[in-house]
Each structure stands twice: as structure tokens, then as C-alpha cells.
Structure 1
């Protein structure tokens, strides 16, 4: 009997801890993330009532995160780049076509919903100008600007893990369309 009571107490404590963690995670998500997703679903009742997609911002600082979110909203930014080693090191799957994400500003306020339309893995030195223009959201010297911005960004993130960038490092190239707000 004493063992049964101990097992029940452990189960209750474990469930409470898991529930508390989930509630804490939900509380850290800005209310606008839920609101934008509900507005999107209400406007598309034919869609399955999917779970809330991941929400995140581009880059690692306020100015760039907010600037890139604005480019997504304007329809100019239609791609995103990441290091293949990030996925490999995390033992994570590459992005999947059709996956939706909620793009936020640096403070976590929802700005847009995007849907992945294409995923490719390309060496850094083989990135085409057309892709760079989609990622940078600009038409003037997009490849030159893409290479400089991404080399600097990838270098700074790789230094933390003791790695060194190379011209042939693999880049995960995601193309997306902005699906909300509708254009």
C-alpha cells in the first residue's frame, strides 16, 4: 500500500511539472501569435484546425529582426538561409514544404504567417543571385550583399562552437510565401 501511494505521488508530481512547464511556455508566447493564427484559421474554415505553428524572429538582434519582419510583410523577403550543420548538430529534420511559421518582431509580436514552398541545400559559394534576392528582399547587388551578411552572421555563430566557415559549407535554403496577412 505504501508503495502504491509513493507511485501515485510521483505520477501526480510528474504530471503537474509537465503541465506547469507547458503553461509557462504558453505564457511566454505573445498574445498576438494566438490572435494572428486564429484570424488566419477563421478566414480559411476549409483548412484543418492545425496546432499553433512555431513562432520566431529572423536574425539575432532587434534592428535586423524588425527590418526582416517588415520585408516579409511587404512581400519582398521570400527566403531564409541557415547552416546545414545547425540541423545536423541538433539531429533535426530539414524544413518541410507546407510547414507554416509565424514570423514575429524581436519582442515576439506576430507580424505574418509564412508557408515553406521550397527547400534546398546548396554550398555557400554556389548560392545563385536569384535566391539571394529572395532572401535579402532587394534587387541591387543581392548576391554580394547576401554573401557579406551571411558570411558575417554564420562566422559569428560558428565561432561559439569552435567551427570555421568555408566557401563550400552547406546552406539550407528555404523559400516561402507570406500567407497572412493576405496580399
Structure 2
């Protein structure tokens, strides 16, 4: 039961445009995930012994998942956001600097490898324009777009547990770098 909660937590752990959903096929992860990791470690032999990272896609629908994966590949999307309360509820560790993840499209096809560079916990009303731009992958009114998308998503998610969002709710802000893309 605890594993189901953790998987559910990972699905919901990010904003409307960014829930993380682990990608698996009938007998494991999509072959492209292993192939992308193999390509990366072949070019970085010092990492050959590293375990393959988790693979997942952003959001919960094909259009957004594929759009966000493309922004990661282009190096435009460089951040992700989630509610601190979700980590606390799940008794889960916050993301760690140096952790790698494989980002896929909605169908589970590997697109990029990212590495977490910075993790902060910031109140919703203190999110900066710069962070919003990295998270949204755009420089056109990023903070306005970030606040609307995240407020709507957090409102919906919190409503399920009878809670309401506040301007002071803590947001776990992950900054990452795209370190490898599908060739």
C-alpha cells in the first residue's frame, strides 16, 4: 500500500503542467529508456556503474507531456515544482542535487536525461519571475502563467483532501539541466 501511495505521490508531485508519471511497459521500462542510458554511459564511461535513473513524463496527457518533453530537449524547460505538503504526507525525501532522471514522451519513449542542479522550498507568493521562466519554458509572462497553472492545479489537488491552497503554501522548486538527449 505504501508503494501505491508513493507512486500516486510522484504522479501528483508537480504542477498542472508537470506531474511525474513513471513510464513502464508490459515487462518493464520502454527499450528506448535503456538505449538512451546506454548511449549516455558509453559516452561517459566513468558512469558505467551508475544505476539507470527513473523514467517518467511531465503532466497527465499526451499533448502536454510531449510539449514539455520537447521543451526539455530544447533546453528551454529547466525546472519543476511540487507541493512541499505532498513530500511531507508521503514521508518522502526532497529531491537531491545530482539526481538524474530520464524524461520521456507520453508513450514512454526516452527523450532526454536531466540532472537536478538546485532544490529550494519557497512560498507560492515568493516564486520569482526567473524560476517561473525556467519552469514554464517561456519568457512571455512566465510568472503570470506559472501562478495561474500552479494555483489551478494545486487547488484541484488539495480540494480532494478537503484543503485549500494559500499564498504561503510551500513549493519545492527543482532546477535541472538537460545533460543528454535522444540522438
TM range (shorter): 0.7 to 0.9
Q: Deviations over 1:140-167 (max 9, x none)?
A: 1100000001111111222222221111
Aligned equivalents of 2:33 and 2:182: distance in 1?
16
Q: Deviations over 1:72-129 (max 9, x none)?
A: 0011000000110111111000000000000111111111000000000000000000
Query: Partner of 2:34 in structure 1?
Result: 34
Give 1:25 deviation, angstroms: 7.8
Extract structure 1 runs of 4+ deviating beyond 6 A: none
8 Å contact kept, 2:111–2:182: no
The alignment yields a C-alpha RMSD, in angstroms, of: 1.8
Aligned equivalents of 1:182 and 1:102: distance in 2?
10
Query: Partner of 1:170 in structure 2?
Result: 170
Aligned equivalents of 2:26 and 2:98: distance in 1?
24
Q: Once structures 1 and 2 are overlaid, which stretch shifts more, 50-59 or 150-159?
A: 150-159
Aligned equivalents of 1:169 and 1:68: distance in 2?
25
Aligned equivalents of 1:54 and 1:26: distance in 2?
16
In structure 2, the CA distance between the partners of 1:25 and 1:107, relative to structure 1 (3 Å rule), is closer
In structure 2, stretches of 5+ residues that fail to align are 1-23
Q: How does 1:19-98 map to 2 (within 5 A)?
A: 27-98=27-98
In structure 1, stretches of 5+ residues that fail to align are 1-23
Task: Specify the structure having the higher radius of gyration (Cα).
Answer: 1
8 Å contact kept, 2:112–2:182: no
TM-score normalised according to structure 2 size: 0.83
Where 2:27 maps in the other structure, the secondary structure is: helix
Q: How does 1:85-124 map to 2 (within 5 A)?
A: 85-124=85-124
Aligned equivalents of 2:69 and 2:157: distance in 1?
21
Aligned equivalents of 1:30 and 1:48: distance in 2?
20
Q: Once structures 1 and 2 are overlaid, which stretch shifts more, 153-162 or 70-79?
A: 153-162
Structure 1 or 2: larger helix share? Answer: 1
